[in-house]
Chain A
């Protein structure tokens, strides 16, 4: 073979045959890896759900809502009339805490805030991007329960995110609102369960309230 000069030219050595299956594996495996990585790893289910910032005051929803049974609207008073569900001012806390646990160390920032007039700097848990317009009142007065988006707040010591709040997640409900509609009087109830089939009830409520959730871009991105 060596005497024949034409074989001195480069041709692929025999071991390179291994590269063919290797390339197929690398390409398919790489594609699969990237797909799974992006699908599971970058998904809002992975990067958003469970977000629980440390708040300046360890306010326990479990105590206030779960044990004491305070309605959501006592503090988040604008939720039915405004786009924003207001974060309560310090005065709301002091309605009770001027006489309850007045010496608690945990409540020191609240009393300071009350004395100085500087609001407590709560950290927002459910923070949508600035290009999204979400209106609480539009949802609450039609019977979308607080629990549908915020989860069982009444069992949380400190609030964390339970839903991804991604666009796809919003659209899931806008496309099939029946799954999440309840009688308006129960919107703030954390442990409400439908008495009959949710889909049937949802369809009825949808008809009563004439609910046609928009799916165009302009609905949320104005």
Chain B
């Protein structure tokens, strides 16, 4: 590994050179360096004290979540702030928020893979893990919001003595299938992609428990050519399977609203609007998480400034789409000439929830405008703050959609103002506890960067260092899946 110099300008790989692609791994690293860096985090016998601090905090919040759910189950749904006419409150807001966050992981791992975006390799594992944990958080809310959690199996078409069957015309049921399919495919994709890296950790393990634990997790991976061949095929298939899910899952989530007749929900732009918002919020969450992680674990040479800049560009694009959706909604409210629709949107912008609406607009539309400027895109601190603001804004987007539409519908006599209770608030805060607990465990015990994939986009992976006309025959690989230098020489000759 090259020694770090005081001059850190080499870490900036954001300048486009028309002659060649900028490197995605900096610091003149070799394959071995990448393995050492990523595995070093997992193998470090001393857990960083900061990890314990964060883990303790997350675990406490997880406890809060458990306590709030227990309180809810034993007392009833009345502990939340739900009151007629607002029958959907924070639970659904949080559900949509967390599901949306997951989408960036799938986009990075599936769509960017199919589009041959090589820069995805440094961040895809990380983002996929985020997807899994976000979907886990999302899954809690619909399950507990039914009130009688012990009959939550009624959501699934299981033959029973009540002859009761889910209503297949209901988008809420489509949601059950969309989200459970999404969770399954994401989990498979994440785990399968991790197998070669788990095998690397297994092979480097010293302690017998680690040897066996990672050995079982690696499912007997030995880096044979046949293994790689099947792995690549399966990965491609799963990517193709996951790609439509990026679009379909949040479209179905949007149907929960769009299929109803409430003004402010009943709009045809909801599916693309929701998908854009989901990717927007997901990338914001990836950036929020990855900036401190790369700083703490010193991964600036693998998760480079260029990666962050690319994500800023995606946030700019999706943020603009979301902004377009906001203005389209307003335009249609006026253009349709529908009095209820018109009222709903004026009420959003200037009614009792105007504060939430303008938080949403400022965070989701105004903040991303910063990313037009390269200086801001490559300013890590600014990017981090902006990503948090976008997370806040995207939560408020769901709040505005769910609550402001319900609180004032057709009948003025039934209007109301929704306020959450402490249980609502602490359940949401607690869900971050679950998210971060899982995430911190992953950072400590799992390969947070797809080593095998990162190596694949390094110049060393191509004979003649990045030149075309690579040799693609059978090359004996060593147990890390790397082509030994000796073999490479033979091949080149």
Contacts and interface: CB of A to CB of B under 8 A. Distances in A.
B300 interface: no
Contact of B161 (A10, A11, A12, A43): A43
A98 to B, nearest CB: 45
A168 B162 CA distance: 4
A12 B216 CA distance: 8
A6 B215 CA distance: 13
A10 B212 CA distance: 6
A44 B215 CA distance: 47
Contacts of A9: 202-203, 205, 211, 215, 479
A145 interface: no
B161 A168 contact: yes
Interface string B257-280: 000000000000000000000000
B163 A167 contact: yes
Contacts of A169: 161
Nearest to A48: B161
A40 to B, nearest CB: 11
B222 A11 contact: yes
A202 interface: no
Nearest to B158: A38
A166 interface: yes
Contacts of A143: none
A157 interface: no
B492 interface: no
A172 B161 CA distance: 11
A171 interface: yes
B163 A172 contact: yes
Interface string A31-56: 00000000000011000000000000
Contacts of B484: none
A202 to B, nearest CB: 20
A164 B162 CA distance: 11
Interface in B147-164: 160-164
B164 A167 contact: yes
Contacts, number: 38
B220 A11 contact: yes
Interface string B212-227: 1011100010100000
Contacts of B222: 11
A12 B219 CA distance: 8
Contact of A10 (B162, B164, B211, B479): B211
Contact of A167 (B161, B203, B211): B161
B237 to A, nearest CB: 22
Contacts of A167: 161-164
Contacts of A168: 160-164
Given A9-B215, A10-B211, A166 B161 contact: yes
A11 B162 contact: no
Nearest to B222: A11
A12 B162 contact: no
A153 B161 CA distance: 25
Contacts of B205: 9-10
Nearest to A215: B163
A135 B163 CA distance: 20
Interface in A1-45: 6, 9-12, 43-44
Contacts of B220: 11-12
Nearest to A217: B164
A9 B163 CA distance: 54
Nearest to B213: A10
B202 A171 contact: no
A166 to B, nearest CB: 4
Contacts of B203: 6, 9
A86 to B, nearest CB: 28
Interface in B177-227: 202-203, 205, 211-212, 214-216, 220, 222
Contacts of B202: 9-10
Contacts of B164: 167-168
Interface in A132-154: none
Given A10-B202, A11-B222, A164 B161 contact: yes
A166 B211 CA distance: 54
B148 to A, nearest CB: 11
A11 B220 CA distance: 6
A11 B163 contact: no
Nearest to A164: B161
B285 to A, nearest CB: 35
A103 B216 CA distance: 80
Given A10-B202, A168-B160, 17 more contacts: A9-B215, A10-B205, A10-B212, A11-B215, A11-B220, A11-B222, A12-B215, A12-B220, A44-B161, A164-B161, A166-B161, A166-B162, A167-B161, A167-B164, A168-B161, A168-B162, A168-B164
Nearest first, the 3 closest Cβ-Cβ pairs linking A and B are: A10-B215, A167-B162, A168-B163
22 contacts: A6-B203, A6-B479, A9-B202, A9-B203, A9-B205, A9-B211, A9-B215, A9-B479, A10-B205, A10-B215, A11-B222, A12-B215, A44-B161, A166-B161, A168-B160, A168-B161, A168-B163, A168-B164, A169-B161, A171-B162, A171-B163, A172-B163
Interface of B: 160-164, 202-203, 205, 211-212, 214-216, 220, 222, 479
